[in-house]
Amino acid sequence: MGLRDQSWDGRSSVPALTRSLSRVSGGCWWHIVISAMVLDSGLQTSDRQHPACLPSCSQQRKRAPDSSRLPSRSKPLSSTHPNRGTQSIKSAGRVMPGCSATSGCSAYMGQCSWMRRSESSCTINSGSSGSRGRMRSAGSLPSISRASAEHRTPRRKNCLLVALKHCNVQEERDKFFLSNFTCDPQFEYEEPLPCTVLDKYKEASDQFLLQATRILNSVLRKYGSYETFESITGGNLLSKSQVWSRCRKYMQKECCSGEVVVQLTEDLLSQAVMSVENSRPTLSINLLGARQHWLEGMLRHEIGTHYLRSVNDAHQPWHGSEGRKQYGLRPANPTEEGLASLHSVLFRKHPYLWRAALLYYTVSRAAKGSFSELFHDLRQFVQDPSVRWEYCVRAKRGQKDTAQPGCFSKDQVYLDGILHILRHRQTINFPLLTLLGKVSYEDIEDLQRFAQLENTRIPHFMQNLDKYHSQLQHIMETNQLSDAELQQVLPA
């Protein structure tokens, strides 16, 4: 049974809508609760329109703004933050305008094919063959249909994460645990596997295995175990109300209140995923990983990086697959995920790159061994069998018989991107990298003269570039990385 989509438009005093799903899996009833909420700036008016249904930005500029229809916004950047995105992008020949009610903060209105999903994996909304309530490819954003579900046009193509989703994961997990972690899972998939994608990601790399292993061992030397590291540096798990409150405050910082639906669930393999669900930008957060000191980093990853770069990309002439071909752009990754991963740990006291390093290591080992061998190998870093199971499932995505060597190598992009960005951190124009949208740092110089910077935004944590660069240096030192080493493994 698929999850039924419901959205909350801010007109009710009820803080959230809760959706529940009961399903049978391996003879047991599982009950999953997902809460969804549109986090606006607190304005609740009876005639407020949905953002996706408003006229385009050009139409907005032709008429005086109606204050009763617009969410409250921060002051324009030119007055509130005079240096925000200005000095650092002079080489582009333009100055980024302020974030006003009719320009920057409404950048997602108008053209709707602006957003692409982040490179996270999820198991949300499982078990349905229909399109309702399902996460889908973010290649386009049509206006939200007001018609009933029966008259909606079904999706033409499922997204990668749905195609790689196991439909018998709970049954295989039970068998694996009952066998004392020796019976390699035999996975089945809801839909035919995308062979071209599997071929693309079937080869793992060992290029940064030394750095990944050193990062993992440095955490263990300092904290003794990952579980201790998580408890000390992550803090306590947050309640739903605490998560929503912090999400609302963060979106106010980024001047995007009311633009993103937030879903809270316990049915994610990753900590969070930014996607498009039923034509709305949607941030799904795993409550089991929503920790006191880590949540803001996750929001910098998903909203401050993925979301803002997607919004900015919609304004650029290279937006879309044809535009990217026309301008000869490199793939957005590994820059996209590398930048987002750095932002996850940017202001931590001890910004260890643990997750990126463990994902890289896991994929490298999965390519050479079976599921059970990988599971036992990871015990040197993670004691909790449930956590190890999740890492192994990610690395073995796309395989049916996991007794065979093989991997899905996409998760190596995080550490790969991190090290590339740190290697060139002194020469990268980070505000411009964000303003240009979903582009590689290698394309900045070629694209800046074509850039359309009106109505684009940079995240609030890039306002002070001196502090930003000092934090990147702190990440280098904490993870025992040096410029000499990075220059050696990544020659110019």
Active site residues: 302
Tokens linked to 70: 């617009």
Separation CA 291–CA 33 (nearest Å):
19
Tell me the two tokens of residue 320: 């879309």
As separate numbers, helices (DSSP H) first and strands (DSSP E) second, the chain gives 20, 6
Closest CA to 295 of 312, 308, 282, 283: 283
What the block records as the tokens of 301 is: 């990853």
Structure tokens at 416: 């790969």
**CA distances in angstroms from 474 to 87, 346, 347, 352, 467, listed in the order given:** 24, 9, 9, 10, 10
Residue type, 287: L
Bridge-based pairing state of the strands 261-265 and 280-286: parallel
Nearest in space to 77 (alpha carbons), one of 455, 465, 470: 455
Instruction: State which amino acid sits at residue 224.
Output: G
Cβ within 8 Å of residue 44, ≥6 positions away: 10, 11, 13
DSSP H helices, 132-288, are 160-163, 169-178, 195-200, 209-223, 226-229, 240-253
**Beta carbons within 10 angstroms of residue 487's beta carbon:** 11
For the chain, state the CA radius of gyration: 22
- Phi/psi for 351 (5° steps) reads -80, 65
Q: Which two tokens stand for residue 64?
A: 């005086």
**Cα–Cα distance measured from residue 227 to residue 180, given in angstroms and rounded to the nearest whole number:** 21
The angle at the Cα of 105, spanning 84 to 77, to the nearest 5 degrees, equals 25
The residue among 394, 356, 392, 378 whose CA lies nearest residue 201 is 394
Collapse the DSSP code of 275 into the 3-class scheme (helix H, G, I; strand E, B; otherwise coil) and give the result.
strand
User: Which of these, 367, 331, 291, 342, lies nearest to 475 by C-alpha position?
Assistant: 342
